[in-house]
Structure 1
């Protein structure tokens, strides 16, 4: 374990590179490595170059970006709430972003301009988190925030269900349902350009929170005694998670449990302090989502599996394990 801790950064970076390479190289159309390199260099078969550059490359980039944002957001929320079950979906941020995107799809606003969908997704995530902290009141009890998050998630899911129920035609309902299941299929560089700004902003807002999260392990009073501005920390965390997760959900749909799984996989490789888990979780999330997206392409099915379904199957058992462990302490 000590050896893994010492080499965690090189190992994670190598895992990200390998997963990205496999995401570009592997698919339904087999392209030998030599011809793939020639196509990426601008030579070779134009069809193979189109497959690699216009289909697989943006999909690989989005897998890395979305996974990194979800992993980082999960680690930040778990550190802030001191709760191993916290992640964007649990607190309602992902569902709020999904509701904002569903509104854009339902009313046809997404057709007005490509930026409308991510903007409404970001707005939905931010509004959900603002309501979350308002419901939690002045206190920052982790249990209170988790319970408020359940209420927010239930409310946003009810809004999504209402949109599906009142969809003007079955095709609109199918589009919304397919999007809610989460996928990176048929994504292009336009989606990369849409997702990149909010994800970069979200990650930048979370970047400097390591010291504050470490201090919060001593409790609010202890953190305040160490000079941590709790209100500013909360605001930066809210904005970072809302903007970043909103941008990710806008292009990938609802992909749950990545923010829950990754910090738990990374934590044993660190000293378990929140600051030590943050950025390794970003790399771990990028690799996990890329490999999960690779899996949905390799499983032989009539229709490609949805990415959100695969991550749910991976995340639910881990969620239940920690839930059972926590129950022993009640």
Structure 2
């Protein structure tokens, strides 16, 4: 029997794309220095005054691009993991990717390697994520069960968290500890175009790998045996998903620091607007994550404080009540 398409679902992606564009524009306009839309437009066309051009291209453009890329990657990773592990509480930190990347960055700060070049810290963060991926394969072995991945990921995440705590405890001076703590709180402040060139390729590659497996995630929702009967190669699927999360999340966390709750709450916000199949929420979760993080990053610049609030704090305050509200509303229908 013919069923009329759900108009709400059909316009979801275009609406999210428009929202992301508006958030990008808002990120250009908001900052300590008030710059009109006309001056910004002139700067974009290459005919603006030097001050507006410097503020736009050196400060606000990199920050806006990173907000979209990092938020999108975290939202997509959360949607993929919740579908693959069949666990509504799954997010990138479940597999240890976020904490391992954070540990790599903390190592760069602790040993002073970050002073050598601006890219040393993010590169070490990506290296930490890759090491975690290799360790995850070693711990999980040949098992195809998501439970083995969860347990191995929890072990790696706990170990990475202990390493971070050890670095803070043994920090040679309070200034180093403060620098590490500040980075762990998460922020896009003072990011440059070099950070964009590092993070965006990682996010593009990681997102591409994750978006390839939408049909496999749908099949896995029926269980491993049913998925294999439908022709899904579980080992190859797992390799692609873990590589995508490791590369994408590693690159994102490398430039933004630890930002929580985006990967957890975004899929829950998107799922009621779709048919609830894992593949249907992947691209919308990427766009919604981009909107959420860019909006939060713009919001921290509007709050009148002596020091700009860290983005990880804002997303936590936003995420907890939203997640609890959806948990109470949909606890029977996930």
Distance of 1:319 and 1:10 partners within structure 2? 24
**Alignment partner, residue 166 of structure 2:** 162
Is 1:207 matched up with 2:218? no
Distance 2:123 2:220 in 1: 32
Work out which of the residue numbers 112, 124, 131 in structure 2 matches 1:127: 131
- Please say which of residues 54-63 and 106-115 is displaced more in the overlay: 106-115
**Deviation for aligned residue 1:44:** 3.4
Distance, in Å, in 2 between the alignment partners of 1:55 and 1:322 is 36
> Which deviates further from its counterpart, 152-161 or 40-49?
40-49
Contact 1:62–1:192 (8 Å) recurs in 2: yes
Aligned match for 2:113, one of 109, 133, 138: 109
Q: Within 2, Cα distance between the matches of 1:128 and 1:265?
A: 29
CA distance in 1, matches of 2:39, 2:55: 12
Q: How many pairs does the alignment contain?
A: 329
CA contact (8 A) 1:296 1:307 kept: yes
Instruction: State the match for 2:300 in structure 1.
Output: 296
Give ranges in structure 2 of 5+ residues lacking alignment: none
Map of 1:285-324 to 2, 5 A cutoff?
Answer: 285-320=289-324
1:3 to 7, 10, 16: 7
- After TM superposition, the score normalised by the length of structure 2 is 0.91
Q: Which residue of 1 aligns with 2:191?
A: 187
Q: Report the CA distance between 1:269 and its aligned residue.
A: 1.6
Residue 29 of structure 1 and its aligned partner are, at CA, apart by 1.7
SS in 1 for 2:41: helix
The equivalent residue for 1:94 is 98
Greater shift in the superposed pair: 89-98 or 294-303: 89-98
Matches of 1:144 and 1:173, distance apart in 2: 35
* Distance (Å, rounded) in 2 between the aligned partners of 1:317 and 1:58: 30
Report deviation, 1:199.
Answer: 1.6
- Contact 1:215 / 1:222 at 8 angstroms: preserved in 2? yes
How far is the alpha carbon of 1:121 from its aligned partner?
A: 1.4
RMSD: 2.3
Indicate if the aligned counterparts of 1:126 and 1:243 stay in contact, CA closer than 8 A.
Answer: yes
**1:322 Cα deviation after fit:** 6.5
Q: Determine the C-alpha separation between the residues in 2 that align with 1:3 and 1:78.
A: 25
The 3-state SS of whatever aligns with 1:89 is helix
Q: 49, 53, 69: which is aligned to 1:49? A: 53
Matched, 1:149 2:153: yes
Superposed displacement of residue 318, structure 1: 4.2
1:198 lines up with 2:202 in the alignment: yes
Deviation at 1:2, TM superposition (A): 3.5
Q: State the Cα distance separating 1:46 from its structure 2 match.
A: 1.4
**How far apart are the structure 1 equivalents of 2:266 and 2:305?**
27
Give 1:148 shift. Answer: 4.0
Does the aligned pair in 2 maintain the 1:86–1:146 contact within 8 Å? Answer: no
Unaligned runs of 5+ in 1: none
Partner of residue 28, structure 1:
32
Inter-partner Cα distance in structure 1 for 2:313 and 2:124: 24
Aligned partners of 1:146 and 1:116: how far apart in 2? 30
Taking a change above 3 Å as real, the CA distance of residues 57 and 213 of structure 1, as seen in their structure-2 partners, is: same
Bigger mean CA offset, 297-306 vs 125-134: 125-134
